[in-house]
Amino acid sequence: MRKFLFLMAFIICSFSFSATLTQSWLVSTTSGASQGVGAGIVLMDAGSALRGLDFSTTESKVFLASGTNIYVINSNDGTTTGNGYNQNGQVDVTGASGGTRVINKVKVADDGAIYACNLQTAIATGALKIYRWANSASSISVAVNTTISGLPVARYGDSLGVIGSGVNTEIYVSGSGQTRILKFTTTDGVNFTLATTIAVTANYGGTDIAPVAVNGNLWVSGSGVLTYKINQSGTVLETISGTVAATGWPVSMIAKQKMVILTF
Amino acid sequence: MKTPGNTSGAKVGNLINVTSGAASATNDYQTPTIGSNANANATAAAAYDSLTDSVYFMITNNGYGKYSDPSLPVELSGFETE
């Protein structure tokens, strides 16, 4: 109990004020150039190209989904040089095709495997595809290639959540305005099939899905709604207060003990 | 996102610890301004780097970067089990 009280006191003392994060490096259209970044940077464009990002603790690299590619970023300095399948800062996307955006979101599993999904606005007739790489230097494989009819909303691929390792890896996908979260599982760690659809209130999970544990609860966020923790049945267990992350366009992600909520 | 963004520029990142299932505004961390463009598709992404206690932000149409603070609350990992 004393340990618990000490810990609580430490928490209160540590976080009773807001702090400014120190910038290590930044590639920004504001500056028109990179700050603290060397050669081989990925420049932002005006076409909303970059929509996905994740970090691999296995490789200590950052992955950026650009709509058609995944850039491999050195987490120490923001550069792309010498990284990836072709050493040009990109993963292998040979054969990737289909969807409004071929590669929309990217997430890294606990074992370092990289997963990316396309953005499909008509899943009944156009395939939702999820690609897999064992690591950033590996060849691409197709983990999911499926059309699904009968769903109330057709759009999938705005959000992607991945957790677990190998045969215990789980993939969650949803989309803007969506009332379902698709859950994919695997028996070989490479090929995935639809395990279940989780019914949710519209947009719960439309922006981001952050699994807490394998076959466990999910933190979800979406446009026009708050950030919630739901269970595997879609029941809301907890809600992040609107005073912390107001209804609008929050984007959240849990990584180990943290949730990062962007408000903008 | 299908709906055009309602943002006037990306500027803030809130880092919230939810190990206990709760979140508090007192845990907010602010970033310097990442960009000033309208986020036409109003989407972004974030990731936590447990190796260096850093966070990565990407704001569509604005930029991406790495931010850190030595006081990031990694110590709370044992909170739920106490």
Q: What is the pLDDT of residues A173-194, one digit of tens each?
A: 999 999 999 999 999 999 999 9
Query: A5, exposed or middle or buried, with CB in 10 Å at 0-12, 13-18, 19+?
Result: exposed
Q: What pLDDT score does B2 carry?
A: 25
Beta bridge partners of A251: A262
Whether pLDDT at A205 is above 70: yes
Q: CA of A152: how far to CAs of A31, A33, A180, A234, in Å?
A: 43, 44, 8, 16
Task: Report the percent of chain A where pLDDT is more than 70.
Answer: 76
Return the structure tokens found at A17.
């004020």
Whether pLDDT at A149 is above 80: yes
Residues in chain B where the model's pLDDT stays below 50: 1-13, 17-27, 73-82
| B24/A264 CB distance under 8 A | no
Q: Which of B15, B32, B60 sits opposite A23 (nearest CB)?
A: B32
**DSSP state at residue A193:** E
Phi, psi of A168, deg, nearest 5: -100, 10
Q: What pLDDT score does B65 carry?
A: 84
- The rounded mean pLDDT for chain A is 82
| B45/A105 CB distance under 8 A | yes
Q: What pLDDT score does A148 carry?
A: 93
Residue predicted with more confidence, A37 or A195: A195
CB-based contact (8 Å) between B50 and chain A?
yes
Longest CA–CA separation in chain B, Å: 45
Residue A94 C-alpha from the chain's centroid: 22
Whether pLDDT at A162 is above 70: yes
Indicate which of B56, B75, B77 best probes the interface with A, i.e. most A CBs within 10 Å of its own CB: B56
Q: How far is the alpha carbon of B60 from chain A, nearest alpha carbon, in Å?
A: 6
Indicate which of B8, B16, B36 best probes the interface with A, i.e. most A CBs within 10 Å of its own CB: B16
* Rounded-to-integer distance, Cα A18 and Cα B28, Å: 5
Token match 């590639």: residue?
A27
- State pLDDT tens for residues A55-94: 999 999 999 998 888 989 999 988 877 777 877 788 999 9
Q: What pLDDT score does B54 carry?
A: 84
ipTM comes to 0.84
Q: State which residues form the domain around A58.
A: 2-261
Q: How far from each other are the two terminal CA atoms of chain B, in whole angstroms?
A: 41
Break chain A down into helix, strand, coil percent, rounded to 5.
5, 40, 55
Whether pLDDT at A10 is above 70: no
Residues in chain B: 82
Residues in chain A within 8 Å Cβ distance of B45:
51-54, 105, 208, 251, 253
Question: Domains in chain A: how many in total?
Answer: 1
- State pLDDT tens for residues A94-148: 999 999 999 999 999 999 999 999 999 999 999 999 999 999 999 999 999 999 9
Q: What pLDDT score does A30 carry?
A: 55
* Rounded-to-integer distance, Cα A247 and Cα A99, Å: 29
Single pTM value for the model: 0.84
Residue A158, domain CATH: 2.40.128.630
